[in-house]
Amino acid sequence: MSKPSSLVSFEMNYPIWDRVFMVFPLVIIGTREPDRTYDLAPKHMAMPLSWKNHFGFVCTPRHATYHNVKREGVFTVSYPKPSQWVQTSLTAAPRCDDGHKHALDVVDTFPAEAVDGVLVSDGYLFFECELDRIIDEFDTNSLIVGRIKAAHVDEAALRSADQDDQELLYNAPLLSYLNPGRFAEIRETKSFPFPKGMKK
């Protein structure tokens, strides 16, 4: 079998990620600053890292988020709803001359319970994490891994044997980031046809 003629090969001297659209979650990472205020920052390279409650996200030492997590040893994760795309965008605002992101003043939060941090109000899923490890040198990036110490979910997004998954997702849609620079609301889904006997 030969290589399909429709394929375009990338030049590997440059990052490939902005040349095609890919689907990612969109989360807001919360950390504590050196002055004891809280910072919020959106991340899309973020996901569970095991079936045993590990969560990780990609960051860079150029960002305060990296140094805040390394210093404080904790972070929070908020999954915003599609209706919160403006709030989520505000968490990406650059810092002002005084070193703070004043756009965060209009983002509603509530305190975490198991770690020192805040979570973004009105999201649908929340994690409170202790730092497990930082893996550096993915070129200019790092993988930050946390162990989830507490988790919370909006009741409307909680799976139940009494409700069809499609109905749940239709009524409580998910926010997805389409890198680069687009977002989508996931509401219509289909059940995946796993082979009989497949296990995690």
The 10s digit of each residue's pLDDT in 40-53 is 999 999 999 999 99
Cα–Cα distance for residue pair 164/176, rounded to 1 Å: 21
Mean pLDDT value across residues 8-14:
93
Q: Which of 128, 125, 132 is nearest to 115 (CA)?
A: 128
Q: Quote the pLDDT of residue 199.
A: 82
22-186 CATH fold: Pnp Oxidase; Chain A (2.30.110)
pLDDT at 99: 80
In this prediction, residue 97 has a pLDDT band, given cuts at 50, 70 and 90, of confident
Band (pLDDT 50/70/90 cuts) for residue 78 is very high
pLDDT band at 100 (very low <50, low <70, confident <90, very high): confident
Tokens 């889904």 correspond to 189
Mean pLDDT for all residues in the chain: 95
Reported as a single tens digit per residue, the pLDDT across 50-77 is 999 999 999 999 999 999 999 999 999 9
pLDDT in tens, 12-39: 999 999 999 999 999 999 999 999 999 9
All structural domains of the chain with their residue ranges: 22-186
**Given this model, what pLDDT does residue 160 score?**
94
Model confidence, pTM: 0.94
d(Cα 151, Cα 134) in Å, to the nearest integer? 21
**Strand 38-43 with 27-32, pairing:** antiparallel
Tell which residue, 85, 45, 87, has the closest CA to residue 65: 45
Over residues 144-163, the mean pLDDT reads 97
* Confidence band, pLDDT 50/70/90 cuts, at residue 96: confident
The yes-or-no verdict on residue 153 having pLDDT over 90 is yes
